[in-house]
Structure 1
Amino acid sequence: MQRPITISILHAAMHGALLTLALAPTAFAEVPRLPTAVAVPDSGKPPLSSATYRGTEYADLKGSGYLEQEFYLQGVAPAITAAGQTLLEAPYTTRMLVRKPADPARFNGTVIIEPFSWFGERAAGWILTRDYLLRHGYAYVGYTLNINKPEVDPKFIAADPAVEADGIAQYGKIVNFDFMRRFDYARYAPLGSYYDARRFTRGDAPDPFVPQSQGIGAQLALLLKSATPGGPLAGLDVKRVYVNSWAVTAQVWMDYLDQGRHQQWRMPDGKPLIDAYMTGRMAYGEVGGDVIRVPRRMPGDAPFVTVYSQSELMHDVLEGIALPADTDTPKLRYYEVIGMPHLRLADLGTQHSERLAADVGKGNDPRCQTLYDEPAELVIAALLDGMDRWVRDGTPMPKAPRVPRQGNSAVRDAATGNLLGGVRPPWIQAPSATYLTDQETACGLIYDTKVAYSRDELRRRYGSYAQYQKAFEDAKARSVREGYLLPEDAKGLHPIAKPQDF
């Protein structure tokens, strides 16, 4: 998530040349250093962010035929500024959490990689796609990008000292390696990466991102594709690596692409280290730096897909930031998903909490009474499946219309109260509520809310529950045809409103 960051937003105009740069895959190509992976000794409890803990990241791994293992990832990686300058090379030790089919025959050849969020070591991509990944035989690798606690933490710097102190008070205990060591000192004491706030800046402030992030990501992809004996995916035939990075860590991959690392760092045979990039729920530049929506050096041999919730699209509307058109060359897709909140209760990391409406003095606001948890993960699973098919057999992903704008406002349908355009899940096509953003309601720091239709409104719109149920089923069928809902998921998607609501 990005909105807890208190660094000032830098406003910048988009440049028309952003889509014109797609460097030749072999231009100035080099093979990154190969890192090493060492199994983390058992400390007597599962690792941080383990899918075996009951909570937001839980999955029945054993029942799905999966193993979970944790490794130290060690190497020497460049430390790169936000402007793309390599200042030095330094050693690092981080950790990766591997989930893979126990039976190599079940592996589909694709590994998903995702940096953990620096808030509570959350794996948003895993949370949104785990059911799909486990059904389809993917391997998953979540990994840590973090720093030791500096004297002044760049994650919380703000012009207003009170705002800075408030951010530290709320989130200071769930960030950096310090948090991980408090969780399990024996396991995470060895972790370390290079950081110097004086030498690495983003915009006018210290860079909150790990300077070695790009090199670590490239080296991880190389390791996973190299079939290293005794490595984390030993025995699996890895053919593809996809990025699936959400919230604040998505900026790492915008930087990686924008600075041309996709073209620079390659496999020994010249093929890409990373075969597709999906990023989501991140308004790039919001934590400082360039406000761009398309990397200036787009890959010519890999899709770049960004998924916006209502909050991200509303951010860009309010800031007057236009989104680019979708293209097949280069492979670019932007999706604005209506009825998808920025953050759900199910998305919180370890020891992570957020302010609710009552905490910000809006507890009695009728727009703030209901958080919503509609299954947006089904849309994300369909998009990931579509990206996979684009890579595997060249079938382009669907193109969704943008949410129409009127100046610095997003256009809502007067009849339903919901936004027009975008990807429209069944609960938007056959609505039973108006879905709002926190930018409009200020109900909580990063939670979005909905206002359910009254019984009279539901009856006026549908007549009866049976008619509403039919409209919802028709909407599901349309979403399947459009490529935003998988047939296997449609079966378990039930109407949002219930018979008693009528």
Structure 2
Amino acid sequence: MLAGWACGASGEVPAMPTIIPVPPSDQPPLSSALRVTNPGTEYIDLDGSGYAEEEYYMSGVAPAITAQGATLFQVPYITRILVRKPKDPRKFNGTVVMEPFTWIGERGAGWILTKDYLIRQGYAWVGYTLNINKPAQDPKTTTDPDWRPDPEPQDLNLDFMRRFDYARYASLGTYYDPARFQRGGHADPFVPQSQGIGAQLALALKSNLADGPMRGLEVRRVYVDSWAVTAQVWMDYLDQGRHQQWRMPDGRPLIDAYMTGKMSFGEVGGDAIRVPRHMPDDAPFVVVYSQSEAMHDAIEQIDVPVDSDRPRLRYYEVAGVSHLRLADLGTEEIEDLPADVGKESDPRCRHLYDEPAQMIVSALFDDMDRWVREGRPMPRAPRFKREGRGIARDARTGNMVGGVRPAWVEVPAAAYLTDQETGCGMVYDTKVPYARDMLRSLYGNFAAYARKFEAAKVLSEKQGYLLPADAARLVPIARPDDF
């Protein structure tokens, strides 16, 4: 391992990391799906679904890479991975999904958005920690030189993990030096070893090690599913050509598909790009935007990418989906609500929404999987209609024009807004439910509304944005009493 990275059949082979089980503790691991007492949104009945959850330390030596792509040196690291996999090898579909935990609350956003689908289809999943010790001034929360620590979230950095379970997480550490690693003129908020750690994890998962975390399963594919700010780690990876540079010993790719979501690359500094400069020719790159990211790009007048089949690129802007939902929060994660920012009386800030974005994401993930396994291209979706430095809204419904339109937008019972428009001052977006007169004007009565909603679900299925297994659970947003 200390010898560095070897040459394979084509490209460089990462060093194989050391992976050992984490000793038992008196509580489940951070962000566990098994947590029954005060469960987080990661929870699902793993045991009843025939799944096991295991936690491991992963250690090794990985390159420290600047935001500009320069490798300065090799440095040791210790991190942890959280594994969820079928107990019965016959249920495993051959694919492992990996994602870095978010900085805040160690949230597995991709897991939260696809957990029902992943278990239903027999995937394995691995989350991993990319974090640092608490610095004097944390660039993940501010670049203000006069910043003081009071506003910093309490569920950020490795210090939060150690407070949660000191013995378990005390040994974790990755290299960080804000003076040597800069992005956009200030300290780079991303761990300099992020790319190497991700590559080494993919290598370990795909190598089918006899004593590895996937022992007993035959891994054939590894997908990345990475959301919000952690997705930018994988944007760096692709943009700097790591997909082509780092390979399996036989020349195969380490990673077979990339899904990123709710990411505005360059927002924390550096170039604002939307398509990696070194796109892979043997793996899809898929981006899923909520209304917030689409509005950000419209305001900044950043061009929307064009879909292509060679290279395999798909971009989805989804109406009626917020950047953050209450359903997306990680273990012990707390975010400001309207009352916390003095907006509780603003009619546009009163209603957060938890419409089931996971159903759209799961369908897109399934489309991506079929593109890899069967060669069937993913659907191409219309973009939002831009209007000046914004996005056009339908005069009658108040909702964005264009984009992927789930049933709750195609047959709306509310206007779905972004924080850029409302100024509510939260990472949540909000909605304004229609008054009774508005609902009656649009649909007449609840029965007519429900029929139209069902028809919209059928359309979403045909378009590839809703899976039949999820359609039965998608119910109208408005209720009879609303009419």
Task: Say whether the fold is shared (TM-score over 0.5).
Answer: yes
Cα distance between partner residues in 1 of 2:402 and 2:269: 29
Q: Deviations over 1:428-478 (max 9, x none)?
A: 010111000111112232111111111111111111111101000000000
Secondary structure at the counterpart of residue 410 of structure 1: coil
Tell me, yes or no, if structure 1 residue 200 matches structure 2 residue 209: no
Q: Counterpart amino acid of 2:18?
A: T
Tell me, yes or no, if structure 1 residue 396 matches structure 2 residue 364: no
8 Å contact kept, 1:119–1:171: no
1:102 aligns to what?
Answer: 87
8 Å contact kept, 1:479–1:485: yes
Tell me, yes or no, if structure 1 residue 34 matches structure 2 residue 16: yes
State the TM-score, normalizing by the size of structure 2: 0.96
Q: Deviations over 1:95-134 (max 9, x none)?
A: 0000000001100000000000011101100000000001
2:399 aligns to what?
Answer: 418
Secondary structure at the counterpart of residue 481 of structure 2: helix
Q: CA deviation at 1:90?
A: 0.8
Which of the residues 486, 492, 498 maps onto 2:467? Answer: 486
Q: CA deviation at 1:254?
A: 0.3
Superposed CA RMSD in Å reads 1.2
2:5 aligns to what?
Answer: none
Written as runs of structure 1 = structure 2, the 5 A alignment for 1:279-294 is: 279-294=260-275
Written as runs of structure 1 = structure 2, the 5 A alignment for 1:176-325 is: 176-325=157-306
Q: Counterpart amino acid of 2:91?
A: R
Which of the residues 101, 111, 116 maps onto 2:96? Answer: 111
8 Å contact kept, 2:40–2:330: no
Which of the residues 71, 74, 80 maps onto 2:65? Answer: 80
Q: CA deviation at 1:159?
A: 3.2
Tell me, yes or no, if structure 1 residue 458 matches structure 2 residue 439: yes
Q: Counterpart amino acid of 1:98?
A: V
1:43 aligns to what?
Answer: 25
Q: Select between 406-415 and 242-251 the one with higher mean Cα deviation.
A: 406-415
Secondary structure at the counterpart of residue 390 of structure 1: helix
Q: CA deviation at 1:197?
A: 1.1
Which of the residues 126, 146, 169 maps onto 2:111? Answer: 126
8 Å contact kept, 2:57–2:81: yes
Residue correspondences, number: 473
Q: CA deviation at 1:199?
A: 0.8
Q: Deviations over 1:143-197 (max 9, x none)?
A: 0001112232222332363xx33xx434442111111111111111111111111
Cα distance between partner residues in 2 of 1:28 and 1:406: 47
Cα distance between partner residues in 2 of 1:153 and 1:341: 26
Structure 2 gap ranges (5+): 1-7
Q: 1:398 to 1:86 in 2, by over 3 A?
A: same
Tell me, yes or no, if structure 1 residue 500 matches structure 2 residue 455: no
Which of the residues 319, 324, 339 maps onto 2:320? Answer: 339
1:66 aligns to what?
Answer: 51
Tell me, yes or no, if structure 1 residue 467 matches structure 2 residue 467: no
1:363 aligns to what?
Answer: 344
8 Å contact kept, 1:356–1:444: no
Q: Select between 144-153 and 339-348 the one with higher mean Cα deviation.
A: 144-153
Secondary structure at the counterpart of residue 154 of structure 2: helix
Tell me, yes or no, if structure 1 residue 138 matches structure 2 residue 138: no
Cα distance between partner residues in 2 of 1:116 and 1:490: 29
8 Å contact kept, 1:94–1:144: yes
Q: Deviations over 1:397-416 (max 9, x none)?
A: 00111101122120111111
Q: Counterpart amino acid of 2:280?
A: P
Q: Counterpart amino acid of 1:67?
A: A
Structure 1 gap ranges (5+): 1-25
Q: Counterpart amino acid of 1:259?
A: Q
Q: Counterpart amino acid of 2:106?
A: E
Cα distance between partner residues in 2 of 1:444 and 1:206: 25
Greater relative contact order (Cα 8 A, min sep 6): structure 1 or 2?
1
State the TM-score, normalizing by the size of structure 1: 0.93
8 Å contact kept, 1:327–1:333: yes
Q: CA deviation at 1:55?
A: 2.0
Identity %: 66
Q: Counterpart amino acid of 1:51?
A: A
1:432 aligns to what?
Answer: 413
Cα distance between partner residues in 2 of 1:256 and 1:341: 26
Cα distance between partner residues in 2 of 1:276 and 1:158: 33
Q: Deviations over 1:315-362 (max 9, x none)?
A: 111111111111111000110010001111111122221112222222
8 Å contact kept, 1:438–1:445: yes
Q: CA deviation at 1:70?
A: 0.1
1:153 aligns to what?
Answer: 138
Q: Counterpart amino acid of 2:15?
A: R
Q: CA deviation at 1:302?
A: 0.3
